[in-house]
């Protein structure tokens, strides 16, 4: 079958791009100050950049919620829907350990284990790992935004224990999610090249039909409708 399927509409791609840029600015500026890689005027300047990036991200998230509530609803519906195939995916992590290790000496030893078996149960628009990422990102954006702005505006009202709790939640959730995104999400999207291209290329956020059928058969069957381009002959 020829053709393309829309995977990432423009609003989601803008949201993802702004989130990605702001996230890493927030992480690098926050980490530099927290781990005392800078001090004095430099630290104060980086904190100003940190607050500014937090403001841009907050405004973008709130705007996305208001401008594209349909995308937000569909995204939440997708990442929160864990059926039998979603759970089955975790048995062998969708076949990724097999894909990475097959042909190596290590695989000869690991092949008897359930997590190294090939194959993956059919997935919907996101596979089980992407669903976990989606839930993690929604949760962490909410907690980091809330704790960050509370520490900025209401530090006195939080009291000593409140500041300790909010500050540590802010720092450690940011570090854990950044490690997850950097060392799991980014490498996996790069090897799923058509998905990567559809997220970042200038133009439409589409993937080839064959790719969609192979990776996300349940999504293709359930949600994709055929649109034939009209031709003037």
Pick the closer one to ligand HEM by CB: 134 or 208: 134
Asked if residue 115 lies in contact with residue 89, where contact means CB atoms within 8 angstroms, the answer is no
Instruction: Find the shortest distance in angstroms from Cβ 211 to ligand HEM.
Output: 12
Member of 18, 23, 29, 148 binding ligand HEM (CB under 6 A): 23
Instruction: Find the shortest distance in angstroms from Cβ 161 to ligand HEM.
Output: 28
Enumerate residues 192-211 that contact ligand HEM by CB under 6 A. 195-196, 199
Instruction: Find the shortest distance in angstroms from Cβ 12 to ligand HEM.
Output: 4
Instruction: Find the shortest distance in angstroms from Cβ 9 to ligand HEM.
Output: 9
Q: Does 26 bind ligand HEM (CB under 6 A)?
A: no
Member of 86, 92, 130, 147 binding ligand HEM (CB under 6 A): 130
Q: Does 91 bind ligand HEM (CB under 6 A)?
A: no
Query: Structure tokens of 71?
Result: 């995308």
User: What is the tally of helices (H) and strands (E) in the chain?
Assistant: 12, 2
The 3-state DSSP class for residue 207 equals strand
Instruction: Find the shortest distance in angstroms from Cβ 16 to ligand HEM.
Output: 5
Asked if residue 33 lies in contact with residue 46, where contact means CB atoms within 8 angstroms, the answer is yes
- The conformation of residue 203, written as its DSSP 8-state character, comes to S
Q: Does 11 bind ligand HEM (CB under 6 A)?
A: no
Instruction: Find the shortest distance in angstroms from Cβ 175 to ligand HEM.
Output: 12
Residue 150: count other Cβ atoms within 10 Å of its Cβ.
17
Member of 19, 58, 60, 63 binding ligand HEM (CB under 6 A): 19
Angle formed at CA 167 by CA 166 and CA 173, multiple of 5 degrees? 85
Interface characters, 147-186, with ligand HEM (x: CB under 6 A): ------------------------------x---x---xx
The interaxial angle of helices 128-153 and 69-80, nearest 10 deg, is 120
Asked if residue 127 lies in contact with residue 85, where contact means CB atoms within 8 angstroms, the answer is no
Q: Which stretch binds ligand HEM (CB under 6 A): 15-23, 48-56, 61-69, 150-158?
A: 15-23
Residues 6+ apart with CB under 8 A from 196: 189, 190
Residues 6+ apart with CB under 8 A from 45: none
Q: Does 123 bind ligand HEM (CB under 6 A)?
A: no
Asked if residue 218 lies in contact with residue 124, where contact means CB atoms within 8 angstroms, the answer is yes
The 3-state DSSP class for residue 6 equals strand
List residues binding ligand HEM (CB under 6 A): 8, 12, 16, 19-20, 23, 130, 133-134, 137, 177, 181, 185-186, 189, 195-196, 199
């Amino acid at each position: 079958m020829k053709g393309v399927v829309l995977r990432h509409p423009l609003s989601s791609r803008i949201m993802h791009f702004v989130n990605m840029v702001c996230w890493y600015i927030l992480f690098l500026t926050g980490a530099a100050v927290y781990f005392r890689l800078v001090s004095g005027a430099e630290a104060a300047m980086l904190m100003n950049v940190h607050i500014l990036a937090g403001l841009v991200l907050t405004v973008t998230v709130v705007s996305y919620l208001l401008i594209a509530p349909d995308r937000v609803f569909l995204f939440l519906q997708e990442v929160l829907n864990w059926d039998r195939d979603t759970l089955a995916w975790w048995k062998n992590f969708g076949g990724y350990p097999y894909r990475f290790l097959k042909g190596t000496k290590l695989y000869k030893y690991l092949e008897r284990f359930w997590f190294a078996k090939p194959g993956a149960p059919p997935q919907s628009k996101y596979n089980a790992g992407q669903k976990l990422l989606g839930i993690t990102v929604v949760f962490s954006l909410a907690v980091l935004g809330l704790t960050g702005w509370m520490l900025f505006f209401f530090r006195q009202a939080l009291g000593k224990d409140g500041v300790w709790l909010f500050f540590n939640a802010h720092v450690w959730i940011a570090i854990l999610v950044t490690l997850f995104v950097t060392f799991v999400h980014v490498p996996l999207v790069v090897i799923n090249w058509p998905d990567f291209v559809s997220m970042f290329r200038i133009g439409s956020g589409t993937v080839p039909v064959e790719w969609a059928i192979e990776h996300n058969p349940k999504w293709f069957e359930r949600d994709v409708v055929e649109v034939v381009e009209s031709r003037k002959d």
